[in-house]
Each structure stands twice: as C-alpha cells, then as structure tokens.
Structure 1
Amino acid sequence: MEIRAFTEGDRAELRGLFARAGEGSPTASLWGDPESEASIYLDPYMDLEPESLFVAVVDGGLVGYLTGCVDSSEFPGEDELLERAIREHRLFLRRGPARFFARSMLDMAVGTLRRQPRAGELRDPRWPAHLHINVAPEARGTGAAQGLMKHWLQRLDALESPGCYLQTLVENTRAVRFFERMGFTEYGEAAAVPGLRYQGKRVHQRTMVRTRRA
C-alpha cells in the first residue's frame, strides 16, 4: 500500500471512490445523490486545498482518501457549500433530496422546540484544522486509514497547527474507536443529525478534537 499526496490526475478516480467508499456506514449517502454530495465534501478540497488531500493506493488503484483543511476559517463553511449545492443541482425539485431536506427542516424545528443540541461545524481557534476520511470497504482493516491519518497529522505538525477536529457519528462505533487510537477525544454533546436516518433510526453527530503535542 502507498499513501501519497493527491495529484490532479486522481480527480476522476477519486470522484468514483467518493461514491462508494462509505458503503455500509450510516453516512454512505445523505440524500442519495453522490454528485451533489461530492460538491460539498470532496470537490472544494480538490479545488482549494489539494496539498491537504492524501490518497491510499493499492495495485495502482485508489482505495481511500483524506481531505483536510489547515484553517477552517479560511475555507467555505458547510452551510455555504450546502446552499450552493441545493441551488446548482436543483435538489428541492428532485424527489429523494427534497424528501431528505423536508425531513431535515422538521427535525430542526422539533429540536429547537425541545432545546436539543444542534449538529454543526466547530469554530474554535484551539482546533482550526478539520478533516474527512473515507476508505473503501475492501481496504478497511488494512492500515489505509491509519496511514492517511499519519500523513495528515505530520502535515499539521510541520505547520505547527495547534489542533484539529473532526465529526463522525456516535453510532459508527468503529470509527470512534479508530479516532481515539489516533489521539482524538470527544468534545461537547452529541447532537442528532437533521434528516439523516440509518436503519430507520436517527443518528447523532460526535465532534472529536486533537490538540498538538508540545
């Protein structure tokens, strides 16, 4: 297995990997349209911060990737990217996505009435960096995720970044255990993710942080 930096020649294959890498996980797809989801969680990283994107390669093919951002305050926020995707891909006019967003709005309204914690990005100067990581089903347990994470953390150390955060799901216990092994700890309350269901049940966002060691 090789872990290396993203190159422009990886773009098309990486888009294909994005569509299948989360297979079997609670976040395999949010509203059933990989193209619009990639415009939020993949394309901006290839376009705006490719030097923070790493890929795992086996036999010449991509099996995993990590997208990172060193300073989240300098990167488009998820809400901004989501609004753009909804507009450009006309998601409210398509049955599957429209159903997801209608459920999201209902979930948010109920959560507000019940004063429940709200899912969302972390904006804290102690942990300015963030990441997303995905590994194809056939590469899970092979060290791909660990290799990707080590390359990312080495980059942050070289830049003397004070810390990094990520967001996963409480229900994805395998991911939570992996991030704990990589030095991340839970931060704040878990919050139900609006609109998202897994096996018919609601799922909950878990924020985790890692502070740079002196």
Structure 2
Amino acid sequence: MQVRSYRPSDHDALRALFARAGEGSPTATLWQHPESEADLYLEPYLRADPDSVFLALVDGVPVGYLTGCLDSGASPNAAELMARVIKEHRLISRRGPAIFFARSVVDLVSARLRRVQTAAEGFSDPRWPAHLHINVAPEARRSGAGRALMEAWFDRLRARRVPGCYLQTVVQNERAIGFFERMGFIKHGPTPEIPGLRYRGARVHQQTMVRAFDTGQGPAGSASVTEAP
C-alpha cells in the first residue's frame, strides 16, 4: 500500500472513490446524489489546499482518502457552497434530495419546538484550527489504510506547527469513533441532532472529536470529554 499527496491526475479516480467509500456507514449518502455531494464535500478541498489531501493506493488504485484543512476559519462559506450546489444540480427538483431537504426543514422546526439543539456547520476553537474528513473503501478497511492516511496528515500538521485538529462524525458510527480514539482523538462537546439525516430509521447525532499537537510553543490545549458513543 502507498500513501501520498493528491495529484491532479487523481481527480477522476478520487471522485469515483468518494461515491462509494462510505458504504455501510450512517453517512454513506446524504441526499442520494453523489455528484452534488462531491462538489460540496470534496472539490473545495482539492481547490483550496491539494497538499492537505492524501490518498491510499493499492496497485495504483485509490482505496482511501483524507481531505484536510489547516485553517478552518479560512474555509469557503458552507452556506454559500450549499446554495450554489443546490442551484447548479437543481437538487430541489430531484426526488432524493428534495425529500432530504424537506425532512431537514421539518427536523429543524421539530427541534425548535422540542428545544433540542441541532448540528451547526463548522466548529471554531483556536485550540483546534485544522479539520479533516477521511473515508476508506470497504475492501481496504482494517488494512492500515486509515492509520497511514492519518499519520501523513499528522506529519503535515506538525510540519506546519498547527496546535490541534478536529473532525466531526456521528454518534451512531461506533466503528469510526473507535478508530479515531485509537488515533488520539477524544470526544468533545454536545451531540446535537443532524437535520434530515436518518440511519436505520432513527435520527442521527453529530459527534465532534479533537486532538492536540505539541508545537513547542507552550502547552497544547486540552479537551473536555463528552460521554456519548
């Protein structure tokens, strides 16, 4: 297995991997339209900082990827990206996305009535300015691909003297949470509902996880632990 930085020639293969890498997870598909999901959750990273994108390859074929951002505060505006993707792909006129977005609206109203917190886009804390997304294809899970991708990302964070990193997964993805904990992340903050998303018919909750790095510039930030899977 080889882990290396993204190259422009990887683009089509990475898009194909994106469409299937999450199979079996609670977030395997959001609104059942992989092309628009890739435009929202993959392409911005390839444009903004391709050196923070890593691939795991077997025989030259990508089986896993990690997209990273060194400074989340400099990320493109999530609401603007979503609005553009909805317009460009005409998602409201497509059955799967339309159902998802309608359910999201209902969930938001329901949460407000129940006085329940819902997941917000992004996370901001100077102790953990960087963030990542990682996915490994089913056939490469438990092969060391995920760990190798994480180590490549950690090396980049250390080289750039970034004090910490966060990620967001879902409470229901116990396999992923266990992996992240083995990689040094800990649970942080509340676990709000994610509007629109369902897993096995039930509502899904967001889990933020954080990891600090010693930059040699004083003690790294510590995180509070919230018990939830």
For normalisation by structure 2, the TM-score amounts to 0.91
Q: Answer yes or no: is 1:36 the counterpart of 2:60.
A: no
In the alignment, the residues of structure 2 paired with residue 167 and residue 18 of structure 1 have an alpha-carbon distance, to the nearest angstrom, of 17
Comparing 133-142 and 109-118, the one that deviates more: 109-118
The aligned residue for residue 102 of structure 1 is 102
The aligned residue for residue 134 of structure 1 is 135
The aligned residue for residue 67 of structure 1 is 67
Report the alpha carbon displacement of residue 111 of structure 1 after superposing the two structures with TM. 1.0
The aligned residue for residue 220 of structure 2 is none
Q: Superposed, which structure 2 residues align to 1:155-170 within 5 Å?
A: 155-170=156-171
Comparing 69-78 and 25-34, the one that deviates more: 69-78
In the alignment, the residues of structure 2 paired with residue 144 and residue 136 of structure 1 have an alpha-carbon distance, to the nearest angstrom, of 9
Q: Superposed, which structure 2 residues align to 1:1-214 within 5 Å?
A: 1-120=1-120, 121-213=122-214, 214=216
In the alignment, the residues of structure 2 paired with residue 2 and residue 60 of structure 1 have an alpha-carbon distance, to the nearest angstrom, of 8
In the alignment, the residues of structure 2 paired with residue 174 and residue 72 of structure 1 have an alpha-carbon distance, to the nearest angstrom, of 26
User: One-letter code of the match for 2:154?
Assistant: L
Report the alpha carbon displacement of residue 198 of structure 1 after superposing the two structures with TM. 1.1
SS for the counterpart of 1:138 is: helix
Aligned residues: 214
Residues 37-62 of structure 1 show CA distances to partners (whole Å, capped at 9, x for unaligned) of 00111011111110100000001100
User: One-letter code of the match for 1:125?
Assistant: P
In the alignment, the residues of structure 2 paired with residue 69 and residue 207 of structure 1 have an alpha-carbon distance, to the nearest angstrom, of 16
In the alignment, the residues of structure 1 paired with residue 115 and residue 154 of structure 2 have an alpha-carbon distance, to the nearest angstrom, of 36
Report the alpha carbon displacement of residue 79 of structure 1 after superposing the two structures with TM. 2.5
SS for the counterpart of 1:15 is: helix
Deviation >4 Å, runs of 4+ = none
Residues 31-90 of structure 1 show CA distances to partners (whole Å, capped at 9, x for unaligned) of 000000001110111111101000000011000000000001111133332122111111
In the alignment, the residues of structure 2 paired with residue 43 and residue 202 of structure 1 have an alpha-carbon distance, to the nearest angstrom, of 28
User: One-letter code of the match for 1:17?
Assistant: L
User: One-letter code of the match for 1:196?
Assistant: L
In the alignment, the residues of structure 2 paired with residue 81 and residue 112 of structure 1 have an alpha-carbon distance, to the nearest angstrom, of 25
In the alignment, the residues of structure 2 paired with residue 69 and residue 107 of structure 1 have an alpha-carbon distance, to the nearest angstrom, of 29
RMSD: 0.9
In the alignment, the residues of structure 2 paired with residue 204 and residue 164 of structure 1 have an alpha-carbon distance, to the nearest angstrom, of 20
